[in-house]
A and B are shown apart, each in its own frame.
Chain A
Amino acid sequence: MDLAQLLDDKLICVCAGSGGVGKTTTSASIAIGMAARGKRVAVLTIDPAKRLADSLGLSELGTDLKEIDPKIFEPFGLEMTGELHAAMLDPKRTFDELIERYAPDHDTYERILDNRIYKELSNAVAGSQEYMAMEKLLELHELGDFDLLVLDTPPSRNALDFLDAPTRLARFIEGRSLRVFLAPGRFGLKLAGRSGSLLFSALKRITGIDLLKDLSEFFANFADMASGFSERAQRVDALLRGSESTFLLICSPEHEPADEAIFLRRKLHEQKLPFGGAIVNKVRRDYFRARKQLDDNLSEQLEARVMENYERQRLLGRRDAEGVERLEKSLGVENVIEVPLFSDDIHGAEGLVHMIDRLFA
C-alpha cells in the first residue's frame, strides 16, 4: 500500500483501532509525512491523556489548532514543505460553541449553559468526546483551510463508538421521545393520558422529580435547535461516506488488536464507510532465512544462552509474521504497512521520523 498515493486526493483520514497499538503516534506520523509532501495538514486528537503532545515531543498541546514548528524535525532529515497543525480537542468548549451557533437567541444560549444537566453532562461524561470529534471534523472541513485532516479516534470501550456519534448526537439533542411526554405544563410537567401518568410515576420513582424536571427543561430549551443538530449529523455522515474520506485501521500483529481491526473492517463495510488500508505496528523481526551461524569466539555457556534467546525471538517473529498474513487474508488486502517493534515507544521528533520512513517507504 502506498500511503502518500492513497492520501493524495483525500481530505479526511480517520485512524481507528483498539487501544495500545500506537494509534496516536501513527496519526501524528501520517500528518507529518503528508506535511513533508507539501500538504497543509491538521491532526486532531480527543485523547484525554495528552499522548499527541507526547508524540510530537511537546509538553503541552492546546485546544486550539497550533502550528507545529517544522524545525523540530530538520535535525533528523525531514523537511516540512507544507504545514502541520495539531490540536487536542476539549469537549466542553466544542459543545458551548455549538450551542452558541444554534441557539435562536442569547437568552436561550445562556439558559442552556446555565442548565445543571448541561453543565454536568457536556463536561464530565465519557462519550461526549466522540460527539465532539465528529463535530470538529465537520467544522474544520467546512472552513476549508486544510488539504488533509487526520483524526485520531478516542480510546473508546468500543472503537466504533465514534462512527455512531453523529446520530447519537442528534438523538441526544432531540430527546424526541422524552419530550413527547415531558412537556412542561402548569405544574412543571404534564403527561398525556392514563398511560402517561403511569409512566410518569414510574420514571419519577427512578429518577426523582427534580431530575425529570431538569431534563424536561433541558430538552425544552433544545427544542428550537434540534433540527440544526440533526441536519449537521447527516452532513458528517455524508462527509465520512464520501470519496474524499478514508479510514485506516491501526493494529499490532497480536491476536486481539488484529481481531479488532478485522471486526472494524466488517463494520466499515456494513456502514458503507471507505476503507483505505491497514497499518500494523510493533511487528517483531522475522528471522526466516536469516544466517544463524555464530563465529566461534563465545564460551559454550554464553553461546547456548544466545541460541536460547534466538529461538524465543525467532518464534515471536514467526508468530508476528503469521499474524500479519492472517490479517491480510481476513481484511482482503494485498499488503498492509508494517512498522517494526522499536526498543521503546516512538516519541519525540527523531522517533517520529523513523516511523514516517517506514510508513511512507
Chain B
Amino acid sequence: MATALGPAPGTGADALRRGTTARLRWRTGFDRWVGYLLPLLFLVALVPIAYLVYFVSAKALPGLSWAVLTSSADYQIHDALGVPIVTTFLFMLLATAIAVAIGVLGGVAAAEFLPERSAGWMRMSANMLVGMPSVIIGYFGYFAFVLYFHWGLSFLAGVVTLAFFMSPYVFRTVDLAFSSIPRPIREAAFGSGARPVQYLLRVGTPIAFPQILTGVFLAMAIGVGETAPIVLTVEPGLLVPTGAFQPAVFTTYLIWTGFNQPPGDVAYTLAFQAAFLVIVVVLALNVVVRVVAARYRQRLEGLYQ
C-alpha cells in the first residue's frame, strides 16, 4: 500500500521541486536567459525607429509653423506645404474608396461565396501583390493607365495606381475577418433561415467590422507613405487638382526630390517637414486602429467563449 511504502518515487512533494539533473538545470537556465534576451532585442529594434524620429524632427520642427502647413504658395520657392497636404488628402480619400470597394468585394467573395479553389487563387495573388516592390506596381500603373488608357501622367492615374497598391491589404483583412467568424455563429444564422447576404449584413458585418476597419486604416498608413506608385504615374503639380487629368503633388514626392539637395535649400527643408508629417500621420493612424479595435473587442466579448 502507498501509505506503508510512502509515495512512489517522483510523485511525492519532491516532484514539484526544480529539477537538479544537468539537462533540467540547462533548460531552466535557458528559460531565464531568453526572458532577459527578448526585451533586450526589442530595445535594439526600437533604436533605429527612435533615431529616425529624432533625426527627422530635429530637421523638420525648427521651421515648421501653422503658416507653413496652410500656405498655398509655390513649394518650389517657398516653405509651403498647403498644396501637397490638401492634394495628398484627396489622393488618399479617393484611393482608399477604390481600394475598399475592391478589397471588400473580393474579400467577401473569397470568404463566403467562392469555392475553396478559386478563393485560394485570390489569396495567393493578394499575398504576391503585398510582397511586390511598390516600384513594380508603379510601372504597372505607368504602362496600364498612363500609356495604354491614355490618361497621361495625371491625378487619376496616380489615384488608381495607389488604390491597386492598397487593395490587397484591405482584401486580406476582409477575407480573414469573415473567414474567422466562429462556424457555429455562421451556422446559427443559416439555421434561422437567413440567406447568405442577410447573414453577411446582419451577423457577419457587425462581428467582422473592427477587423475590417483595422485593415483599411493600415492600408491607408501604408499608402500615405508610398512614393514609387505616385512618382511614376503623376506629374507633380503646383496647385490642388480640380480635374482627373491634371498634375498633382503627393507629399512623399517632396521627400523623394528634396532629401539630397544642399541643406538650407527650400527643397531640403520641405523634404524633412514632409517626412515628419508622414510619420505623424502613420503614427496617428496606428493609434486610431488600436483604440477602435479595443472598443469593438469589448462589445464582442463573450462571442468566442
Tell whether A and B belong to one assembly.
Answer: no
B residues sitting closer than 8 Å to A (CB atoms) are none
A residues sitting closer than 8 Å to B (CB atoms) are none
